[in-house]
Amino acid sequence: MRITLILLLVMFVSHIAWPQDEPDWKKLEAYYKLLEENNKFMGGVAIYKGEKRLFEYYAGFSSVEKSKRANYQTRYRIGSVTELFTAALVFQLIEEGQLTLDTKLSDYYPEITNSNKITISNLLNHRSGLHNYTSDDTYLNQMNKSWRKNELMWLITDFPIDFEPNEKACYSNTNYLLLGFIIEHITEESYSKLVEKHISKPNMMMGTRYGGVINTSMYGAHSYVFQNKQWEQMNQTDISLARGAGGLISTPRDLNVFAQLLFQNRIVNEVSLDSMLSFQDGYGRGVFEYTLDDEIAWGHNGSIDGFQSHVSYFPADSISISVLGNGMNCTLNEVITTALNALCRKAYKLPKFGSRIVEVSMEVLSKLEGNYYSDSYPERISLVIKDNKLYAQTSGYKAYPLTAYENGSFRFEPVGIEIQFKAGVYSLVFDEFVLKQRGAEFKFIKE
């Protein structure tokens, strides 16, 4: 599930080359400890080479309210990383002859527009043209509601198409919601049971299953956003809304095991894996490809509520990495690339945290409210006050809270966004700001 402002695809900067001597894991531990101590990251990181676990670190709490610290048993919601599992189940059915890549969506759901043109392959590689239901206002406004299958079908059937099938690729969780329904229809078993029966149980991935109401006594983790100088628990999306597009929970260890097995032809066969790894316009069938100089990695990202997740596998060295965060006050990219730099013996610096969080009066915040546009940025940004706090929002996305720092800076650090107002000696210049995002800067002016 992609619920944050930015659809985050991690682009690594390091080149994987297995070092002859042992990486400096103590320095990497110090890095994650610094993030933890400065309220930048809560979650788990694990790195494997084949079946060997090279590194593991758990930061923060699965439950802040109960002071319950995270550990290797903690289960995090993994969002769209679920789609790797859904794709694997689809290919298992193809191997059994119960489905083909050319099977039409109309064989199961003829009521959906263009279903007679949309194939299983189109759903797998996001070339269906079906509108993304998780970016629709109905979804965003009813994330806590329990949804029946027929209600979800009514919802997506009413959407207009975004483009004709196979015209191009565009990410849509609707594709994997439908794939989850299709494999349930064929097998006459629940998605939950299928994951357990065909992936989790045979491979001893006991921390991986279909989610539900979060229960910290059963190793579940809540998700958090850092605001008002503390970690505040986020509302839970009802998992009935996520299903085959984002309904699973897992652990960093389990995701490494899954990646190692999947990309070594031990969950699907070689023909199926080759098909999954057939990329067009940057999309595979359930898999994304990341280019690292002259090497590649395969994997997936995810996000749901305050959870962010990533798993990737480097076939040249049989190295995998997984990151599961339930409190991200820094970018997922930072967490991953630092681990890869350590693994490859690349130079990196331990961060210094100098900027102070400040309180901004309601009088000042009210002057910042409004709609802002940029000639060089595709979306307008609205700044609004909710519950005495400043939020930013673009069309079709959930509003996200901004933390105020000294010198006119407002940040949403989980995706590395900073809104910088020009600070005078005694006040801010209210009618314009600079959006800083992944090294780029965009000037916005109030309408």
Q: Report the percent of the chain where pLDDT is more than 90.
A: 68
pLDDT bucket at 346, cuts 50 / 70 / 90: confident
pLDDT of residue 395: 73
54-63, 153-162, 204-213, 402-411 — which is least confidently predicted?
A: 402-411
> Cβ(102)–Cβ(116) under 8 Å?
no
pLDDT bucket at 354, cuts 50 / 70 / 90: low
pLDDT of residue 136: 85
Q: Which residue has the higher pLDDT, 142 or 322?
A: 322
Q: Is the pLDDT of residue 7 over 60?
A: no
Among 350, 320, 351, 327, residue whose Cα is nearest residue 55: 320
Among 100, 369, 84, 320, residue whose Cα is nearest residue 208: 84
Q: Is the pLDDT of residue 2 over 60?
A: no
150-154, 166-170, 387-391 — which is least confidently predicted?
A: 387-391
Most confidently predicted of 179-183, 366-370, 382-386: 179-183
Stretch 96-122: mean pLDDT, rounded? 98
Burial string for 194-222 (b: 16+ CB within 10 Å, else e) reads bbbebbbeebebebbbbbeebebeebbbb
Q: Which tokens belong to 363? A: 């009088």
pLDDT bucket at 4, cuts 50 / 70 / 90: very low
Is 291 exposed, middle or buried, given 0-12, 13-18 or 19+ CB atoms closer than 10 A?
exposed
CATH tag for 362-446 (out of 2.40.128.50, 3.40.50.300, 1.20.1250.20, 3.40.50.720): 2.40.128.50
Stretch 112-117: mean pLDDT, rounded? 97
Per domain, the residue ranges of the chain are 1-353, 362-446
pLDDT bucket at 151, cuts 50 / 70 / 90: very high
Compute the distance between CA of residue 432 and CA of residue 439 in angstroms, rounded to an integer.
19
pLDDT of residue 14: 40
Q: Which residue has the higher pLDDT, 8 or 26?
A: 26
- The tens digit of pLDDT for each residue in 416-436 reads 788 988 875 446 778 889 988
**DSSP helix/strand/coil, 136:** coil
Q: Is the pLDDT of residue 9 over 50?
A: no
pLDDT of residue 440: 83
CB atoms within 10 A of CB 111: 10
Q: What is the CATH number of domain 1-353?
A: 3.40.710.10
Stretch 346-366: mean pLDDT, rounded? 83
pLDDT bucket at 138, cuts 50 / 70 / 90: confident
Stretch 24-41: mean pLDDT, rounded? 95
pLDDT of residue 396: 67
Average confidence score pLDDT of the chain: 90
pLDDT of residue 1: 52
In the numeric block, the tokens 């790195």 are attached to: 47
Q: Is the pLDDT of residue 373 over 60?
A: yes
Among 335, 305, 340, 295, residue whose Cα is nearest residue 320: 340
pLDDT bucket at 10, cuts 50 / 70 / 90: very low
Q: Is the pLDDT of residue 282 over 60?
A: yes
- The tens digit of pLDDT for each residue in 244-275 reads 999 999 999 999 999 999 999 999 999 999 99
**DSSP helix/strand/coil, 104:** strand
Which one-letter amino acid corresponds to residue 145?
K
